[in-house]
Amino acid sequence: MTKKSIATVVILTIITCGIYGFWWLYNAHQELMNASGVTPTLSPVITLILAIFVSPVGFGLFGYDAARAMDKLCGKEGEHTVGYLVLGIFLPIVQIAVVQNDINRLA
């Protein structure tokens, strides 16, 4: 998994009006699924399309899949699920920062 600066990810997402955030979501989704071996609810492409057109649904699904992957990688069942899911639905930019922070800790 790729370690990235949280501030850079958030600032690039804001500067590009969300385009970098969508690119990040797609890449993070693939990296988490590959590293953990968890089968995603939907493919990263479908999740990305949903995030672009129906942001709360796409980021919520990403949050659910990312939480399952993080729980498996950390060995702690159910620790991330509610937080990632709620952040994905209501505050996607914060979800991006939190998930990237967790990826950085594991990398």
The answer to whether 36 and 71 have CB atoms below 8 angstroms apart is no
12-33 pLDDT, tens digit each: 999 999 999 999 999 999 999 9
pTM above 0.85, yes or no: yes
Q: How many helices (H) and strands (E) does the chain have?
A: 6, 0
* For the chain, domain boundaries: 6-106
Can you give the pLDDT at residue 75?
87
Can you give the pLDDT at residue 42?
93
Please give the Cα distance from 19 to 17 (Å, whole number): 6
The whole-angstrom distance between residue 72's C-alpha and the CA centroid of its chain comes to: 15
